Amino acid sequence: CRLVVLISGRGSNMQAIVNTVRDHALPAQICAVIANKAEAGGLAWARDRGLPVHAVAHRDYANRVEFDTALANVIDIHQPDYVLLAGFMRVLTPSFVERFNGRLINIHPSLLPAFPGLHTHQQALAMGVQWHGCTVHFVTPVLDHGPIIAQGIVPVIADDTPETLAGRVLQVEHKVYSNVVRWLAEGRISLNSMQRVQVQGIA
Ligand code: GRF
């Protein structure tokens, strides 16, 4: 199972994915790590581990369509089975999403459909929810909306700040995305006719 991972920053989710493929000797390979900025810390981490890396800087392109096209062309070099967005902070155009339809996965730091968009931990604290978490989902043209593959939950604690809550969610993100990568590698994830995700062996 050929995987390309897209990041924008430190790439801690990417690191968890790389480590889980290695530690569990999964039938998968990380073909490339791609960032939308050359200074993304995760690129250096991936390069140090001998992974192919690319920076496709959105600042180098006149508009969103040109950036997405350049990004898609770099991804296609590696012929991935799946493209994993992991802390990738760009909204992708519908044509990009269509080009990778069914193969594009993202992690969002909330229990979708609650709190789409940015500042999810502030949103959660503002609403006074008692449970929060993360969602790994297939990407569709509607932002933060695609078929849900897996979720992880964390308790919200009385004196939580957005930072303490984000840190608790991030730990669960790493676990959930690692599980999803294992299922992808084992070929256990499919979409049924109702566009609902089914994971073989999981109820
Ligand atoms: C994480 O907090 C995650 O919620 C979101 O992007 C942030 C950075 O993730 N997906 P990472 O450490 O770059 O994987």
Q: Per the structure block, which two tokens stand in for 58?
A: 């959105």
Q: Is 132 among the catalytic positions?
A: no
Is any atom of ligand 1 closer than 6 Å to the C-beta of 133? no
Instruction: State what percent of residues in the chain have pLDDT above 90.
Output: 95
Q: What is the ipTM of this complex?
A: 0.92
Residue 21 contacts residue 183 (beta carbons within 8 Å): no
Give yes or no for residue 166 CB within 6 A of ligand 1.
yes
The residue assigned the tokens 């994915």 is: 17
The rounded Å distance from CA 10 to ligand 1 centre is 8
The answer, yes or no, to whether residue 10 has pLDDT greater than 80, is yes
Beta bridge partners of 54: 34
Q: Give me the mean pLDDT over the 77-92 stretch.
A: 97
Nearest CA to ligand 1 atom 13: 11
What contacts 194, CB < 8 A, 6 or more positions away? none
**Cα–Cα distance measured from residue 90 to residue 200, given in angstroms and rounded to the nearest whole number:** 31
pTM: 0.96
Region 6-10: what's the mean pLDDT? Answer: 98
Across the chain, mean pLDDT equals 96
Q: Following DSSP, what letter does each residue of 107-175 receive, concatenated? A: EESS-TTSS-SS-HHHHHHHHT-SEEEEEEEE--SSTT-SPEEEEEEEE--TT--HHHHHHHHHHHHHH
Per-residue pLDDT band for 45 (boundaries 50, 70, 90) equals very high
Identify the pLDDT of residue 194: 86
Average pLDDT score over residue span 5-28: 97
User: Whose alpha carbon is nearest atom 12 of ligand 1?
Assistant: 12
pLDDT of the residue at 191: 86
Please check the confidence at residue 116 and state whether its pLDDT lies above 80.
yes
- pLDDT at residue 192, rounded to an integer: 84
Q: Residue 66: in which H helix or E strand, if any?
A: helix 64-77
Catalytic annotation, pick one of 58, 108, 121, 174: 108
In angstroms, what is the span from residue 7 Cα to ligand 1's centroid?
9
Q: What is the mean pLDDT of residues 105-127?
A: 98
CB 97 within 8 A of CB 90: no
Alpha-carbon gap, residue 185 to 17, rounded angstroms: 11
- Chain segment 29-42, per-residue pLDDT in tens: 999 999 999 999 99
The CB of 86 under 6 Å from ligand 1? The reply is yes
Question: CA end-to-end span of the chain, whole Å?
Answer: 23
- pLDDT tens profile 147-160: 999 999 999 999 99
Question: What SS3 class is residue 133?
Answer: strand
Residue 62 CB-density burial (10 A; 0-12 exposed, 13-18 middle, 19+ buried):
exposed
Degrees to nearest 5, angle at CA 132 with 113 and 180:
70
Query: What's the pLDDT score for residue 203?
Result: 64
Per-residue pLDDT at 193 = 85
Q: How far does residue 169's CA lie from ligand 1's centre (Å)?
A: 10
Please state the atom number of ligand 1 nearest to the C-alpha of residue 89: 6
187 is in an annotated binding site: no
Pocket test for ligand 1, best of 84, 108, 170, 174 (most atoms within 8 A of CB): 170
Bridge partners, residue 109, by sequence: none
Ligand 1 pocket residue status of 9, Cβ below 6 Å = yes
